[in-house]
A and B are shown apart, each in its own frame.
Chain A
């Protein structure tokens, strides 16, 4: 079974631009979560989508948004990029939203560099 895939793997943008990252979950998984990883802040939760609906949201500004499609694929968008948005963005999928026996599986991440 294929794992979580993220595209692109690397991205370079300039301040003020916007960017869209894509995540394809493991087949059969309907929940997709996004995390930001930076050396200073560590791993921080951005949001979770399940059945095309945002279920949870972390403490990030409105410039960060996402969506999920009917095939469970998810996209994350960051508008008006700032230097501090440079990070590894990780996507994780799991079968359902909630529940005990339901760990997340992570993709390889998209490394975003903002110049």
Chain B
């Protein structure tokens, strides 16, 4: 069975500082990894994905994620945080099938 862990319920960062939101996964076979963001009273918005290829994946709104196979991690990063980045972030994994398994979510708070 596949699983995703987001070890931090909340991450606090000052505006302009780099941010990292952590994600580790467990899946048999090759992982398809995703990051989604959710703003209040909204659905999930796709940020980026890793399927194969370069370990550093670039996505929307200046976000990027680094795939590390040996550590089974897929951490989300941004060089300079904005207050508007404050939201709930979800990491998800899909194996060769069709079902997305989500982590518990990490609330990102960016303070001015």
Contacts and interface: CB of A to CB of B under 8 A. Distances in A.
Interface string B18-50: 000000000000001010100001111110010
B112 interface: no
A103 B36 CA distance: 11
Given A90-B44, A103-B34, A106-B43, A42 B100 contact: no
Nearest to B44: A106
A83 interface: no
A103 B46 contact: yes
A36 B96 CA distance: 22
A87 to B, nearest CB: 13
Contact of A98 (B36, B98, B101): B98
Query: Size range of the interface on A?
Result: 20 to 34
A45 B43 contact: no
Interface in A86-106: 90, 92, 97-98, 100-101, 103-106
Contact of A105 (B46, B90, B99): B46
A21 interface: no
Query: Size range of the interface on B?
Result: 20 to 34
A100 B51 contact: yes
Given A90-B44, A107-B43, A100 B32 contact: yes
A106 B102 CA distance: 14
A56 B94 CA distance: 13
Contacts of A42: 102-105
A22 interface: no
Given A42-B105, A43-B90, A106-B36, A56 B99 contact: yes
Interface in B71-112: 90, 96-105
Nearest to B43: A106
Given A100-B32, A100-B52, A45 B101 contact: yes
A98 B97 contact: yes
Given A33-B99, A42-B104, A48-B98, 9 more contacts: A33-B98, A35-B102, A42-B105, A56-B98, A98-B96, A103-B34, A104-B46, A106-B36, A107-B43
